[in-house]
């Protein structure tokens, strides 16, 4: 039975591909990606099947005669379309084989798929295991055996369960390995570090949060991996000056070094700064570094381009100035969360002629400081003043007037700036591609209109929690390159404004309409039509939307994230439409969609096979729905609170059936009801339970903030 089915499908697949192949040959020899993509889609959707039924033998020969180079060329064009590649590989044996040899990146969804993947793709050079929470030494051994010569990069940052044995296997067998990400391997010891040290060709190594690794381990790495270019030791609390010093002595090729939150002192800094090629140095949160250490530094690091000194609380700006003077080639600098930024600190920036990016998030900035920055950095392109206090119209204006080439500007939560700032920003920095100004509450709706009127190159715009209205949106519609638009908690916007945007910004991929209570189906329909590339949409607490919105959104086939939390008018019908239409959906939040029941979930379980994360709280889903959902093999993350129809046994069955779970949030009342051995078993599979005792809240009660906003607006409900 299975064989015949297989045969049947193969024939059909092959014929379909034959059509594709003919299409290919009929077009220009060097066709555009679109034509391939389009053809592939036709194949996938079965358009060519009738033709295929009458296909002849010579066509088969034709397909088989395609050389591998040509197939590779085709596959190159399909790189962004994984589904098409899958279809491609199902055409025939030669196509299958070609696809196997072509693929370089493997990202297994579950660890049990790893052997199959390794067998099928022997030439993969990059293995991303970040979706496999448990990777054993045996698995790593099979990886090192299967990809012995080809593996160049492996990501184990989200995996556990392996030890130095597995790493040693990789390091010894995979001679081509240049990149290992071992972040979050909190239980890895020095022995594992010594095993890494055997990978002589390693160039990039991430060891973030490897808290057990000590100086001895990093010493082994420093001696063994002398070709290292990038080393991330963030949060490696076991490492001290000695280890870092040795790294600096041994790994002379280092370009990038991340020492954030490592308990180092000034002792290792001279050696680090003497690295001849060091370009990127992060010293975030190095609390042991103090003024004295930085001021006494003699070395000048001319190669340094990126320096992150955020959160160094024991360093005053005199020390910062001294460091900045040592790095004349600096392009990017971050002094976030370091307290006061004054004129004197800013003057030290004057010598940094190449400085392009300054991040001063969370600092306290004086106007004179801003003025000095304005006068000093000639080539400034990016400026982040997020959450800075003391940013005034005067200071900000002085900067934007001087730096007309500013590309990115972040003034999130700079609550003192007014329309005046915005006027100067929009008038001088017309080449802005990114503007983030969440919660600039003093800016009026008139001011916000200026953005759309002047900054036509904007790609990212964050106007969350502002006084934006439809007129503003209408102006924004002039930004045709817009990809990301965040207009959450702009309570004044209505469908009309959204329609304006939808008409022009066809490239939009992400829109945030959280608590935009004025939005109804009309607006969402316009959004769905206007943004065909939409990937992320947040409609949480947009209480006006119904199933119609979802039906229209189901046409956005790229949709990956959908949040419709607290939309009580949405029902299973809408969800079913989404499930059928948006098959790339990975993240779904339907909390407090009271009318979503098992029927909707069943559709979801059937069609949304890519679903990874779901929030089902307060829905009318029962055991049946949950069990069906458990069949989604990708599902990793579930939040289930206050499901009326859920019984402990149903929950148990669902948990048991859903093998890929990594995190489940459950109400703590279930904890005693679910059998303990079962929980232990699930936990042993790599799943984490978070038991929360959340009170049952039926009403959608807006918090004080929303009430305050709604006072001067004519929003009827909430």
Partner 1 sequence: MSSGSSRLSISAVVISSLLFVSLSILSSMAEATTKPDEAAVQIVYVERPEAEEPEAFHIRTLAAVLGSEEAAKDAVIYHYKHASSGFSAKLTQSQVEQLSKPNIFGKSHKGLIFVGLGSRVFFRLYLVGPTASMDPGQALLESWGCELTSQERNSDLPNCLKGFYGRSLSSDLMFCVKNSETANRLLEDLVLEKWFSTDSGAKMDFKLRRPLEASSNASSSMMSEISRNLKPGLPFIQCDSTNICYGARQEQSFSEFPPPQVIQSRGLYAREQKTETKSQLEPSSAVNDLVMDWNPRLMLSNLSFLEQKIHQVQDIVRSIISQEGRANELAAQQQLVTADLTYIIIQLISTAGTLLPNIKNALLSATPPVGQPGVMANLPVNASQKQHEVLPMELAKASEYDELIKDLNSGGEGDELIKCLNNSVAEVSESIPIEDHDIKDYDDGLDGENLPPGSYEVLQLEKEEILAPHTHFCLICGKGFKRDANLRMHMRGHGDEYKTPAALAKPSKEASSEPAIIRRYSCPFVGCKRNKEHKKFQPLKTILCVKNHYKRSHCDKSYTCSRCKTKKFSVIADLKTHEKHCGRDKWICSCGTTFSRKDKLFGHVALFQGHAPAIHMDDAKVSGTSDHAQVGETTNGMVANMGYNFSGNASDDAQSLDIKDVDDGQGYFSPMNFDACNFGGLDEFPRSAYDVSESPFSFLSTGTCSFIPRNSEN
- Binders in 582-621 for partner 1, by CB under 8 A: 583-584, 586-587, 605-607, 609-610, 612-613
Interface region with partner 1, contact rule CB under 8 A, candidates 238-246, 299-307, 414-422, 513-521: 238-246
Taking CA atoms, 294 is separated from 144, 255, 321, 595, 608, in Å, by 44, 21, 9, 61, 55
Q: How far is CA 169 from CA 66, 145, 152, 206, in A?
A: 39, 9, 14, 18
Look up residue 45 and give its two tokens.
């959707």
* Interface residue with partner 1, options 238, 245, 497, 566 (CB under 8 A): 245
* Residue 97 binds to partner 1 (criterion: CB under 8 A): no
**Least distance in angstroms from the C-beta of 2 to partner 1:** 5
Largest Cα–Cα separation, the chain: 83
5 interacts with partner 1 by CB under 8 A: yes
Q: Which is nearer to partner 1, 247 or 383 (CB)?
A: 247
Residue 12 CB, nearest approach to partner 1 (Å): 7
d(CA 175, CA 227): 13
In whole angstroms, how far apart are CA 126 and each of 102, 144, 151, 184, 228?
12, 12, 6, 19, 18
Contact region for partner 1 (CB under 8 A) — 63-71, 124-132, 402-410, 467-475? Answer: 124-132
Q: Figure out which of the listed residues 243, 518, 566, 625 binds partner 1, where binding follows CB under 8 A.
A: 243
d(CA 474, CA 356): 32
Distance CA 281, CA 322 (A): 16
Return d(Cα 435, Cα 484) in angstroms, integer.
10
Cβ distance to partner 1 smaller for residue 261 or 320: 261
Contact flag: residue 93 with partner 1 (CB under 8 A): no
DSSP H helices, 164-298, are 164-173, 190-196, 215-224, 241-250, 269-273, 291-295
Count of residues of this chain found to bind partner 1 when the rule CB under 8 A is applied: 103
Of 48, 106, 315, 484, which one interacts with partner 1 (CB under 8 A)? 106
CB 283, CB 298: distance < 8 Å: no
Q: Kindly write out the interface string for residues 155-184 of this chain, putting x where it contacts partner 1 by CB under 8 A and - elsewhere.
A: ---x-xx-xxx------------------x
Among 39, 111, 615, 652, binds partner 1 (CB under 8 A): 111
Looking at residues 363 to 402 of the shown chain, list those that interact with partner 1 (rule: CB under 8 A).
none
Are the beta carbons of 403 and 377 closer than 8 angstroms? yes
Q: Is residue 112 close enough to count as binding partner 1 by CB under 8 A?
A: yes
Hey, which residues between 447 and 486 contact partner 1 (CB under 8 A)?
none
Q: In the bound complex, what is the minimum distance in angstroms from residue 71's beta carbon to partner 1?
A: 16
Question: Does 82 sit near partner 1 (CB under 8 A)?
Answer: yes
Rounded CA gap, 563 and 516, in Å? 13
Q: Which residues pair with 408 in a beta bridge?
A: 382, 434
User: Is residue 687 a contact residue for partner 1 (CB under 8 A)?
Assistant: yes
Taking CB under 8 A as the criterion, which residues in 37-66 touch partner 1?
Answer: 44-45
E strands present in 288-361: 306-308, 332-334, 340-341, 357-359
**90 counts as binding partner 1 under rule CB under 8 A:** yes
Stretch that binds partner 1, among 19-27, 127-135, 565-573, 644-652 (CB under 8 A): 127-135
Record the tokens describing residue 495, joined without a space: 């469908």
Footprint of partner 1 on 249-308 (CB under 8 A): 249-250
Counting contacts by CB under 8 A, is residue 137 touching partner 1? yes
| DSSP H stretches of helix in 289-382 | 291-295, 317-326, 343-347, 367-376
Stretch that binds partner 1, among 54-62, 103-111, 337-345, 381-389 (CB under 8 A): 103-111
In the beta sheet, which residues pair with residue 258? 232, 282
Smaller CB separation from partner 1, 112 or 364: 112
* Cβ 314 to partner 1 shortest distance, Å: 23
**Among the listed residues 21, 177, 213, 246, the single contact to partner 1 using CB under 8 A:** 246
Task: Specify the 3-state DSSP secondary structure of 548.
Answer: helix
Beta strands 280-282 and 688-692: pairing type?
A: unpaired
Contact with partner 1 (CB under 8 A) among 48, 63, 74, 114: 114
Residues from 195 through 234 that contact partner 1 (CB under 8 A): 197, 215-217, 219-220, 223-224
Q: How far lies 205's CA from each of 3, 154, 208, 538, in Å?
A: 46, 10, 9, 36
Closest distance to partner 1 from the beta carbon of 206 (Å): 13
Pick 60 or 250: Cβ nearer partner 1: 250
Q: How far is the CB of 78 from partner 1 (least distance, A)?
A: 9
Return the residues of window 621-660 that contact partner 1 according to CB under 8 A: 628, 630-631, 633, 637, 656-660
101 binds partner 1 (CB under 8 A): no
CB 595 within 8 A of CB 570: yes
Interface residue with partner 1 among 42, 60, 110, 494 (CB under 8 A) is 110
Based on C-alpha coordinates, what's the Rg of the chain? 28
Q: Which of residues 148, 354, 404, 681 is near partner 1 by CB under 8 A?
A: 681
The beta-strand segments (E) located in 402-529 are 408-410, 434-436, 460-462, 484-486, 510-512
Nearest CB to partner 1, comparing residues 531 and 607? 607
Which position among 194, 319, 357, 501 is part of the footprint of partner 1 (CB under 8 A)?
A: 194
């Amino acid at each position: 039975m299975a064989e015949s089915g297989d045969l049947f499908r193969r024939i059909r697949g092959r014929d379909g591909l034959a059509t594709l192949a003919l299409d290919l040959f009929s077009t220009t020899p060097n066709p555009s990606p679109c034509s391939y993509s389009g053809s592939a889609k036709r194949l996938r959707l079965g358009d060519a099947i009738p033709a295929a039924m009458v296909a002849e033998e010579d066509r088969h020969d034709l397909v088989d005669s395609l050389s591998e180079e040509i197939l590779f060329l085709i596959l190159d064009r399909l790189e962004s379309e994984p589904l098409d590649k899958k279809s491609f590989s199902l055409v025939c044996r030669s196509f299958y084989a070609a696809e196997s040899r072509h693929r370089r990146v493997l990202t297994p969804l579950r660890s049990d798929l790893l052997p199959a993947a390794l067998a099928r793709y022997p030439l993969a050079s990059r293995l991303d295991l970040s979706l496999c929470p448990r990777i054993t030494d045996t698995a790593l051994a099979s990886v090192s055996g299967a990809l012995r010569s080809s593996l160049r990069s492996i990501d184990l940052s989200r995996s556990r369960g392996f030890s130095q044995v597995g790493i040693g296997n990789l390091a010894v067998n995979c001679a081509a390995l240049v990149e290992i990400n071992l972040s979050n391997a909190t239980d890895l010891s020095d022995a594992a570090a010594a095993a890494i040290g055997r990978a002589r060709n390693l160039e990039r190594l991430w060891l973030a949060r490897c808290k057990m690794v000590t100086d001895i381990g990093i010493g082994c790495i420093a001696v063994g991996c002398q070709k290292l270019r990038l080393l991330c030791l963030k949060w490696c609390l076991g490492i001290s000056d000695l280890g870092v010093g040795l790294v600096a002595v041994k790994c002379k090729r280092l370009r990038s070094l991340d020492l954030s939150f490592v308990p180092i002192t000034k002792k290792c800094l001279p050696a680090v700064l003497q690295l001849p090629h060091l370009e990127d140095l992060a010293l975030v949160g190095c609390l042991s570094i103090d003024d004295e250490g930085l001021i006494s530094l003699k070395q000048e690091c001319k190669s340094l381009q990126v320096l992150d000194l955020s959160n160094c609380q024991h360093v005053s700006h005199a020390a910062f100035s001294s460091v900045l003077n040592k790095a004349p080639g600096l392009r990017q600098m971050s002094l976030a969360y370091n307290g006061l930024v004054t004129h004197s600190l800013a003057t030290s920036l004057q010598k940094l002629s190449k400085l392009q990016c300054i991040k001063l998030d969370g600092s306290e900035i004086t106007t004179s400081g801003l003025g000095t920055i304005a006068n000093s950095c000639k080539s400034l392109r990016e400026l982040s003043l997020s959450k800075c206090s003391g940013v005034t119209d005067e200071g900000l204006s002085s900067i934007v007037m001087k730096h007309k080439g500013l590309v990115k500007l972040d003034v999130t939560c700079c609550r003192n700036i007014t329309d005046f700032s915005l006027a100067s920003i929009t008038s001088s920095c017309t080449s802005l591609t990114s503007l983030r100004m969440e919660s600039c509450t003093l800016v009026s709706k008139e001011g916000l209109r200026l953005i759309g009127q002047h900054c036509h190159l904007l790609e990212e715009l964050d106007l969350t929690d502002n006084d934006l209205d439809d007129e503003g949106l209408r102006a924004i519609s002039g930004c045709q390159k817009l990809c990301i638009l965040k207009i959450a908690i702009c309570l004044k916007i209505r469908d009309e404004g959204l329609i304006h945007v939808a008409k022009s910004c066809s490239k939009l991929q992400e829109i945030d309409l959280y608590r935009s209570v004025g939005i109804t189906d009309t607006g969402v329909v316009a959004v769905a039509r206007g943004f065909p590339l939409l990937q992320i949409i947040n409609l949480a607490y947009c209480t006006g939307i119904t199933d119609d919105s979802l039906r229209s959104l189901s046409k956005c086939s790229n949709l990956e994230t959908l949040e419709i939390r607290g939309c009580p008018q949405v029902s299973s019908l809408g969800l079913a439409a989404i499930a059928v239409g948006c098959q790339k959906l990975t993240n779904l939040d339907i909390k407090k969609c009271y009318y979503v029941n098992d029927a909707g979930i069943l559709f979801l379980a059937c069609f949304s096979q890519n679903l990874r994360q779901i929030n089902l709280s307060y829905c009318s889903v029962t055991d049946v729905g949950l069990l069906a959902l458990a069949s989604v093999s990708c599902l990793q993350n579930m939040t289930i609170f206050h499901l009326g129809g859920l019984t402990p046994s149903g929950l148990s069955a669902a948990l048991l059936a859903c093998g890929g779970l990594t995190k489940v949030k459950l109400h703590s009342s279930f904890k005693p009801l679910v059998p303990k051995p079962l929980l232990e078993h699930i936990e042993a599979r790599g799943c984490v339970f978070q038991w929360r005792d959340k009170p049952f809240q039926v009403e959608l009660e807006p918090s004080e903030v929303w009430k305050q906003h709604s006072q001067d607006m004519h929003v009827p409900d909430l």
